[in-house]
A and B are shown apart, each in its own frame.
Chain A
């Protein structure tokens, strides 16, 4: 749709696959598919692999999913494995937590993460804390997934980034893929993981294309960042929607003589801060790009970690490029201003490199 992957992005996929340590050799010519299709593959493969895995959510079955991520799954696995729920987020999230405690591996789809707000008591007070509060007796292997972040002109209540909420709580893992291969490899790992995982897809990126290994065993470990582009002058830490934008910014900056390293943490929690710090020690300058609000955001946490771990390596203050600190406007022109773009990332890089 909107984001046609650049050559760099496709190249970067290989980096992502290398990080997993498996799969790429046997698939010399990997199919190019969308993130939507990659997620569908991941769920299908895991439903087929483990009979304890089941999927539920609003419109996931008969309608093939509001964003068609679950297309064809009802037909293939039947209504005991792929279940349409009523519009009751708190209810079916709680049902999922109970099923997970009882030994199943539910995948709970939120039509968007905006609606997960209704289910936060089950996610935070039950799923995240059960292992701890039961003294290790109950693990909760559940995946809450769905689109998050900004969407096109759906206004304040349906266009927002919530990852910092979930990343705040010990007990939850938070994953945000930015490429089709990462989406597939990370979702499969999330389903196989024994802890509750918040898996946030980007609504505007479902149509992004890239090479994805056609391999049932292709997974990407959680908690491992990926260097999407190597560089020497400035480190850009970006996640989700900001990754392709940062890669475009890096291209533009290369023309201006600035070599950017783009790091995608991929997993917000656990955060692979070591990879980020190693890069900062090399480049001495950091820009953190995120579409979320700045205050108490993931960027603030990364910035603080960098300051604590690499203070003596910083040649400039850590710079954040964040979404505007306002509810998302509906008006197209204001919406454009509220979401960071390539230009803001370029400007921030030039600022920390002392070029302006």
Chain B
């Protein structure tokens, strides 16, 4: 019996996935557990495994197309099995990203009737051709899509060679807004999409250019709106003398050049130690309960090309500096190539965002819910400070902690920050 391959939930926040690459062709044998396709989720590119044995009979969602969770995207069956019932079922639930004009003749532009000869099979061939190379689109269709905010890669071109033409945009634009997420997938602008600036409606206002928001960018937006909106933030800033930490780092790195421990690694380790001493901060507001965590799982904000992501250093309180350094380096590298697994970037108890490398002295960060706090770390810079009535030059670093006031009070946060400062100014505490 043929089995359906549906778009799986590959990340906790995933609402739809984009098939980035099929690893099997139609007609290929597949066995259970074998990689079947690579799926772009809102966060990462994940491998999807086959859950049945047989032959990949039909691919219903092409490379570059998106489908919502649970949608049929392929069929695995015996080579001679009749899959027509499944296919017709798929026809009733078309890919939301794909206007199936045949099913909705009323959306066709009346002026250009579609001839009866144009069948499904022919379209499939043409789309395959188009998918193999660059997107083919008429100038008019490109302009209409840009104006309507329709992602061209979500469409099937009905013109020769899979060219996307006016009627395809009209059909897509008149599709019911069943799934608003379908219009936009990840957003590197293509050459065919307009890179030019639109004149603004208001006289003398700046021209502008609309580009589809990428999946990850929209996730960031959605997540952060749920942060500063519902979460009552307050901010605590402290200036920390870093001379000893800097000296310790230099000392450790001189022991073994392979170690490459950064200031941020030390900050992570110290924050983890402070979190364990202040369980009220290593906590999360969960409506009816306050959740306190046993370990300090520290999320580290990593800038990637399309936004940012926070891979998690698990139990950072129990790890050595070199373990943390290796782990952060490895996670960041995979984050940049979008190869993180969901469990590697979710479920932190506290986060750290460091913009010191950009020369930022001080900033505030938004809490990544449901965490209770985030530490915004600035650059280490030499500054004149007063020590024993003398002005001396010290390596100083400013940190600002954002706290969820529902779970952390001012004094609680301040005490945490005090501990953090104490340890960081005297890193020997780490080994005491």
When C-beta atoms are compared, the residue in chain A nearest to B117 turns out to be A356
With a CB–CB cut-off of 8 A, which chain A residues contact B160?
354
> Which of A44-52, A170-178, A211-219, A307-315 faces chain B?
A307-315
- Tell whether A258 is near chain B: CB-to-CB under 8 Å: yes
Contact mask A303-322 → B, CB, 8 Å, 1/0? 00000000111111000000
Contact mask A106-118 → B, CB, 8 Å, 1/0? 0000000000000
With a CB–CB cut-off of 8 A, which chain B residues contact A311?
139
* 10 tightest Cβ-Cβ pairs between the two chains A and B: A315-B140, A315-B166, A257-B113, A312-B143, A315-B138, A233-B111, A314-B139, A354-B159, A311-B139, A315-B165
When C-beta atoms are compared, the residue in chain B nearest to A231 turns out to be B111
Identify A355's interface contact among B112, B138, B166, CB under 8 A.
Answer: B112
Known: A284-B166, A354-B158, A354-B167. A313 touches B140 (CB 8 A): yes
Known: A354-B160, A354-B165. A312 touches B140 (CB 8 A): yes
Contacts A354-B159, A355-B113 known; 10 new A-B pairs at CB < 8 A? A258-B113, A312-B140, A312-B143, A313-B143, A314-B140, A315-B165, A354-B160, A355-B112, A355-B114, A356-B115
CB distance from B108 to the nearest CB of A (A): 11
- Tell whether B380 is near chain A: CB-to-CB under 8 Å: no
| 8 Å CB interface, A335-356 against B | 353-356
- The answer to whether B111 and A316 have CB atoms under 8 Å apart is no
- Tell whether B366 is near chain A: CB-to-CB under 8 Å: no
- Tell whether B19 is near chain A: CB-to-CB under 8 Å: no
- Tell whether B152 is near chain A: CB-to-CB under 8 Å: no
Interface residues of A (CB under 8 A from B): 232-233, 256-259, 284, 311-316, 353-356
With a CB–CB cut-off of 8 A, which chain A residues contact B114?
355
CA A257 to CA B112, docked complex, whole Å: 7
CA A232 to CA B165, docked complex, whole Å: 16
Identify A314's interface contact among B113, B138, B158, B167, CB under 8 A.
Answer: B138
CA A348 to CA B261, docked complex, whole Å: 69
CA A315 to CA B138, docked complex, whole Å: 5
With a CB–CB cut-off of 8 A, which chain B residues contact A353?
112
CA A13 to CA B159, docked complex, whole Å: 37
CA A284 to CA B166, docked complex, whole Å: 9
- Tell whether B141 is near chain A: CB-to-CB under 8 Å: yes
CB distance from B35 to the nearest CB of A (A): 38
| 8 Å CB interface, B5-37 against A | none
When C-beta atoms are compared, the residue in chain B nearest to A314 turns out to be B139
Contact mask B146-190 → A, CB, 8 Å, 1/0? 000000000000111000011100000000000000000000000
CA A353 to CA B167, docked complex, whole Å: 10
- The answer to whether A355 and B115 have CB atoms under 8 Å apart is yes
CA A256 to CA B114, docked complex, whole Å: 11
Task: Please tell me the size bucket of the interface on B.
Answer: 10 to 19
Most buried by A among B111, B143, B165, B166: B111
When C-beta atoms are compared, the residue in chain B nearest to A350 turns out to be B115
With a CB–CB cut-off of 8 A, which chain A residues contact B113?
256-258, 355
CA A122 to CA B158, docked complex, whole Å: 54
CA A314 to CA B141, docked complex, whole Å: 8
| 8 Å CB interface, B119-148 against A | 138-143
When C-beta atoms are compared, the residue in chain A nearest to B138 turns out to be A315
Identify A316's interface contact among B115, B142, B143, B159, CB under 8 A.
Answer: B159
CA A170 to CA B167, docked complex, whole Å: 41
CB distance from B193 to the nearest CB of A (A): 13
- The answer to whether A316 and B138 have CB atoms under 8 Å apart is yes
With a CB–CB cut-off of 8 A, which chain B residues contact A315?
138-141, 165-166
Known: A315-B165, A354-B158, A354-B167. A233 touches B112 (CB 8 A): yes
Identify B165's interface contact among A233, A258, A312, A316, CB under 8 A.
Answer: A316
Most buried by B among A257, A312, A315, A353: A315
Known: A354-B158, A354-B167. A313 touches B139 (CB 8 A): yes
With a CB–CB cut-off of 8 A, which chain A residues contact B139?
311-315
With a CB–CB cut-off of 8 A, which chain A residues contact B167?
354
CB distance from B165 to the nearest CB of A (A): 5
CB distance from B15 to the nearest CB of A (A): 33
CA A354 to CA B160, docked complex, whole Å: 8
With a CB–CB cut-off of 8 A, which chain B residues contact A284?
140, 166
CB distance from B118 to the nearest CB of A (A): 9
CB distance from B226 to the nearest CB of A (A): 39
With a CB–CB cut-off of 8 A, which chain B residues contact A356?
115
CA A355 to CA B116, docked complex, whole Å: 10
Most buried by A among B138, B141, B160: B138
Q: Can you show 18 pairs from A to B with CB atoms below 8 A apart?
A: A232-B111, A233-B112, A258-B112, A312-B139, A312-B142, A313-B140, A314-B138, A314-B140, A315-B140, A315-B141, A315-B165, A315-B166, A316-B159, A316-B165, A354-B112, A354-B158, A354-B159, A355-B113
Most buried by B among A257, A284, A354: A354
CA A232 to CA B166, docked complex, whole Å: 14
With a CB–CB cut-off of 8 A, which chain A residues contact B138?
314-316
CA A258 to CA B113, docked complex, whole Å: 8
When C-beta atoms are compared, the residue in chain A nearest to B160 turns out to be A354
CB distance from A256 to the nearest CB of B (A): 8
CB distance from A351 to the nearest CB of B (A): 8
- The answer to whether A259 and B111 have CB atoms under 8 Å apart is yes
CA A252 to CA B292, docked complex, whole Å: 79
With a CB–CB cut-off of 8 A, which chain A residues contact B159?
316, 354
CB distance from A230 to the nearest CB of B (A): 13
CA A259 to CA B111, docked complex, whole Å: 7
With a CB–CB cut-off of 8 A, which chain A residues contact B166?
284, 315
CA A191 to CA B138, docked complex, whole Å: 44
